Amino acid sequence: MEKQVTDLIQYLKDQNVDYADVRYVKTESETIATEDLKVQELASEVDAGVGIRVIIDGAQGFAAVADLDKLKQTALKAIKIAESSAKIQKNRISLSSKKTVQDSYATPFDRDPFEVELQNKIELLQAAEEEMKAEAELFKTTGHLKFNNIQKVYADTEGSIIHQDLLESGGGIQAYAYQDDDMQIRSYPCGFGGNYARAGYEFIEELELVENSRKIAREAATLAEAEECPSGELDLLIDSSQMTLQIHESVGHPIELDRIFGAEAAYAGTSFLEPAMLGKYQYGSDIINIVADATTPRGLGTFGYDDEGVEAQKKDIISNGILRGFLTSRDTASSLGQSSGGAARADGWQNLPLIRMTNINLLPGDKSWEELLAGIDDGLYLKTNRSWSIDDKRLNFQFGCEIAYEIKKGQLTGKIYKNPVYAGITPEFWQKCDAIGEEELWELYGVPNCGKGQPGQSAHVGHGSAPTRFRQVEVGVGNAN
């Protein structure tokens, strides 16, 4: 495919564009879903095409096509679109400089999931379901596996040519239980259909779906009979399976520089952050250290190069509670006089790269599990995201979890509550953080469905964190009685 891509770059140069990049992306995927021990979905997909971006006189056009016989025609369409864009343009697009490379990158893995017998994958999910059903009286059980093999060829008029082979594996299980008029769900290893990583089938084996199935089955059945989560201001210990969402919504999205510049204003909104806050703004307490790290081993937001051909980087976002960085692309970084942070990512061949999260990780603290608990006299340990909503400046949030474990006098009492919901204002909330779990407690979760943009794009991103403690958080607002 490299020849077709580089030939197209030459064709675009011949058309006298100021800049162009061409991305060929081919994604092969496999989805397996089971429900109540039966196969619910068995599907595979091949999706391939080419996306062409051009800049002419500071105006941008993008056109994408699946039919590889229409590449030149589509290139001319991208040029026509750029010429149209120029008619309503105040500021010329300027790309920050980058290193020109000819390189390749591949996800490291031990076992190709596409080589694993289909029957083995189905049987794995069914075995986990059997364990769940044996453990508790459940209304329903489900299991899910998904694998993506993404092949990319990138070239631009500056001379870069990059090949990437990215492999993704993910899966999870769920137990449903209900009593009277309430349905309760427990998921393992997390919500969003499970945990995902850029890794091979070994990642699925390490999830130990079967070994962890009985616990969530018991918890689902117990939740169905549990009391509603209490209301009030309580100390919270938030598990990594929920911190993932907390980081995603209240740090990951607000630091996207295109959002800060207003690009998403009509859709999911803007951000409370401004460029002038860099280096000064107290985002949270001084133990908060967050990085955007596209090099995290196995991260779902890990790659060799972003979709502008910028090398993967690890950047400070929040250091000792102070805002230090944004997620940037070549054009937005240029507005700040910086080089790109390598966060321009497109959903497939058919979409223009936007600024997307990579792996936005909360770095570990120094507290053991016992120390985290010991500091709580009356509080809750919250696990696994279930519901999320945040305002259009990314300030007022309200998140729901699957389960709350009661903490009294520094100990888990064994009592659980259903339907826990907590709410806050982003910087006030992060200021309430007074303890973060140590490295051994740190876990990485992959989110395969981060939505942004028009037309809508879905990004695969990662978040690492350890259980984290917050003081006096508003809990229980979801009980609308």
Residues 6+ apart with CB under 8 A from 50: 4, 5, 8, 22, 23, 24, 25, 64, 65, 68, 71, 74, 349
Residues of this chain, 447-466, that bind another protein according to CB under 8 A: 453-455
Label residues 378-388 b or e (16+ Cβ within 10 Å = b): ebbbbbbbbee
Q: Is 134 near another protein (CB under 8 A)?
A: no
Which residues inside 196-225 make contact with another protein, applying CB under 8 A? none
Q: Which residues contact 324 (CB under 8 A, 6 or more apart)?
A: 278, 279, 316, 317, 318
Contact (CB, 8 A) for 38 and 122: no
Which lies closer to another protein via its Cβ, residue 364 or residue 476?
Answer: 476
Count of residues that interact with another protein, criterion CB under 8 A: 84
According to the binding rule CB under 8 A, does residue 413 interact with another protein? no
Report if residue 80 touches another protein, rule: CB under 8 A.
Answer: yes
Cβ–Cβ under 8 Å, residues 372 and 467:
yes
Query: Of the candidates 19, 25, 85, 152, which one interacts with another protein according to CB under 8 A?
Result: 85
Residue 302 or 385 with smaller CB distance to another protein: 385
Q: Which of 38, 99, 408, 409 binds another protein (CB under 8 A)?
A: 38
- Of the residues 10, 13, 57, 67, which one makes contact with another protein according to CB under 8 A: 67
Indicate the length of the chain as a whole number: 481
Among 3, 14, 91, 280, binds another protein (CB under 8 A): 91
Q: Which is nearer to another protein, 268 or 412 (CB)?
A: 268
User: Cβ-count burial of 115 within 10 angstroms (0-12 exposed, 13-18 middle, 19+ buried)?
Assistant: exposed
Q: What is the token pair recorded at 166?
A: 């990215």
Give the shortest CB-265-to-another protein separation in angstroms.
4
**Touching another protein, residues 221-260 (CB under 8 A):** none
Q: Give the C-alpha separation, 346 to 370, whole Å.
A: 42
What is the amino acid identity at position 137?
A: E
3-state SS class at 375: coil
Which residues from 342-361 bind another protein, rule CB under 8 A?
350-352
Instruction: Tell which positions 371-400 bind another protein, by CB under 8 A.
Output: 387-393, 395-396, 398, 400
Check residue 362 for interaction with another protein (CB under 8 A). no
Phi, psi angle pair for 62, to nearest 5°: -140, 130
193's tokens: 């259909």
- 9, 74, 188, 459: which one binds another protein (CB under 8 A): 74
Least Å distance, CB 455 to another protein, is 6
Window 305-334: contact mask with another protein (x via CB under 8 A)? ------------------------------
Structure tokens that stand for 475 in this block: 């809990």
Listed residue (387, 351, 347, 416) closest to 477, CA to CA? 387
Stretch that binds another protein, among 67-75, 308-316, 368-376, 435-443 (CB under 8 A): 67-75
Position among 82, 145, 229, 376 found at the interface with another protein (CB under 8 A): 82
- Rule CB under 8 A: is residue 276 a binding residue for another protein? no
